[in-house]
Structure 1
Amino acid sequence: MERGDFTDLPGLGKPLEDLGPAEQGHDPDWWLKRLVEREKITVLPPALQLRRDDAALDDHLDRLGGEAEVRRELTEFNDRVRRVLYSTHGGPPVTTPPRDVEEEVRRWRARREERRARRTAALAAREPEAPPPSRRGRWWPFGRTGAAGPSDG
């Protein structure tokens, strides 16, 4: 302080941002509100979050690699639906039904086969690439390495 290191700081003598006017008092959750705003976090009631998750579930399942993973995700989704359905929290009603695991696995297999067929058709429709030019001579460009065999002369 004596050296004057803090004399020319910006905002000197001005109120701190985001704390609000003094007559409103200090908000103890100011940091949480700032975090939600900065990170663009949306907090939805559980029933609405389930609707959002249900709408995106097929795309999420399509990114999974195996049937066991699909079954696990569907089981977890159904557990969440039941938990929210039987919870005592207020909010909008739960309109999202649990999904039939076996039916969803059949649909997942069908979508996977359809993607494979489209990929195969797209590869077949592409023009075949020219083969690489053949190289004459030995495959090792640095000469003989001491292995026994016929010499190129």
Structure 2
Amino acid sequence: MTERKPPGVSFETWIDRQIREAVERGEFDDLPGAGKPLPDQGKPYDDMWWIKQKLRAENLSFPLPATLALRKEAEEALAMAAGARSEAEVRSIVAEINEKILEGTRKAMSGPPLNLAPFDVEDVVRDWKERQPATTPRVPSAPERRPKRRSLFARLRAKRDAGG
């Protein structure tokens, strides 16, 4: 495709001729993806499609602005707290993310406004407790109670009142 378009020939005619000749030479045989549907067919158009495709092909990720990264981390922390095994673990997770949120609100961070307040630890713990499977607490059986022994005077009084 290094030859130039001859003068007087329309672009469409010239391109069609080059494609036809390439097909006749077999240059389109055994291309990767032959017979497969076009990727992203039917999806809405995205101006950044080529950047996203390159990132996927190179197995790279695009770093989020600091405020968005902190919001995402806060969501993940809440999910971790919901799946925690103990109340102490829930409190630890929430305390750690609250510390990061407070630090983020104290200093300027790149990205959109943070608009994130620290989580109420007690609310998160309460939600965690509500999600726990209902188990009836095992109450230890009380030892058998013997009747309370009355004092000598109470026994004598009871005997006297009974007529004896």
TM-score (norm 2): 0.43
Q: Based on CA coordinates, which of the two structures has the bigger radius of gyration? A: 2
TM-score (norm 1): 0.45
Higher relative CO (Cα under 8 Å, sequence separation at least 6) belongs to 1
